[in-house]
Chain A
């Protein structure tokens, strides 16, 4: 049952990712990406990471994609990517390159599985609820306190930088 769920959602995720890459209209691409992010959130749920699944939906599907759709609406980029492409042969080179990359990653994964002998190194500790907000928050405010604080500085810097970039300069 669990495996069937996994395969169905994996199929949806791959198809939506392909839709993002292949569709010409950026709005369609953004909606496909929302579907893909939802699929990843479901995977987080299956893996027992409830807090991350909710954060994924709120941050990615909620905040980031709204920003993307807003930018697409502002820029109205429906008329580019329609003309003839002067670099088309070079772009088609990307498909064999992607196949080679996938083969490389697969090879590394398979070889690591073979080297480990296929047996799990430790017992799968799925009994411990490692994905709860409590354990995550405890870790975030003890071991990872410094990166957490640096993140706030990063967000502040991004805020100021975006304001400076997007301000319309008065002539």
Chain B
């Protein structure tokens, strides 16, 4: 039996890699994929904790997170494509028109 601290440790590492990816990359598509990575890390921790306490509630939460992630990706990619049509470039550094 694998202790759940292994899973939480792995989840922390994956989450940190996702955060660094969001901060480092300039391509909004890669930033989106890094966000997916972070969501997956959180899901892994949820399932590990749920299994630890022997309740399926954590898995139901993961189910909802997956659904929301699917909706989020669809809307986000539509926004990115709309921006690309408008500007013909794709870099988060160009998108500063809403900056205060």
Contact = CB atoms under 8 A, between A and B. Distances in A.
Interface string B46-77: 01101111111101101110111111111101
A149 B77 CA distance: 25
Nearest to A3: B2
9 A-B pairs with least C-beta separation: A125-B54, A94-B23, A158-B71, A21-B21, A98-B20, A165-B78, A105-B12, A130-B56, A102-B16
A106 B12 contact: yes
A56 B74 contact: no
Contacts of B52: 120, 124
14 contacts: A21-B20, A48-B51, A68-B77, A77-B90, A80-B27, A97-B20, A124-B52, A130-B51, A130-B56, A131-B51, A136-B63, A158-B74, A161-B78, A166-B81
Q: What does DSSP make chain B's interface, helix, strand, loop or mixed? A: helix
Contacts of B6: 6, 10
A159 B66 CA distance: 16
A13 B10 contact: yes
Interface of B: 1-2, 5-10, 12-21, 23-27, 29-30, 32-34, 36-37, 40, 43-44, 47-48, 50-57, 59-60, 62-64, 66-75, 77-82, 84-85, 89-91, 93
B5 to A, nearest CB: 6
Contact of B2 (A46, A67, A158): A46
A52 B2 contact: no
A158 B75 contact: yes
A122 B50 CA distance: 12
Contact of B47 (A49, A68, A71): A49
A155 B1 CA distance: 38
Nearest to A101: B16
A68 B33 contact: yes
Given A46-B2, A151-B67, A68 B13 contact: no
A16 B31 CA distance: 15
B19 A101 contact: yes
Contact of A21 (B24, B55, B70, B75): B24
Contacts of B1: 2, 124, 126
A17 B81 contact: no
